[in-house]
Amino acid sequence: SHFIACTWYFLGASGIDSWSWVRELSMIARVEDDISYRYTTALHWSLTQFTPASMEVVPQNPSERVFTIAVIVLAVMCTS
């Protein structure tokens, strides 16, 4: 989950797309400089992909959506 969380955070923070979950979180929670909050949010997101839990952080651009789909497929394969 740590590697998935780090990749999810990288996609959101890299600036590849104009809008991302990191920018959305910064607007909502005002956590621009709090790396620990952003990391635990990414870790929480990665754990919810392998369980039936929900999460308010969702993909905001095509790169994040493709990564989310890949993680969900991986989760299905691991739990089948």
Task: Compute and round to an integer the Cα radius of gyration of the chain.
Answer: 12
Tell me: pLDDT of 70 over 90. Answer: yes
pTM for this prediction: 0.78
- Note the pLDDT of residue 29: 62
- Note the pLDDT of residue 12: 87
Mean pLDDT for the chain? 85
- Note the pLDDT of residue 44: 92
Closest CA to 38 of 2, 78, 9, 70: 9
Query: Given phi > 0 = left and psi -120 to 50 = alpha, else beta, which region is 30?
Result: left
- Note the pLDDT of residue 80: 74
Tell me: pLDDT of 16 over 90. Answer: no
Q: pLDDT category, 43, cuts 50, 70, 90?
A: very high
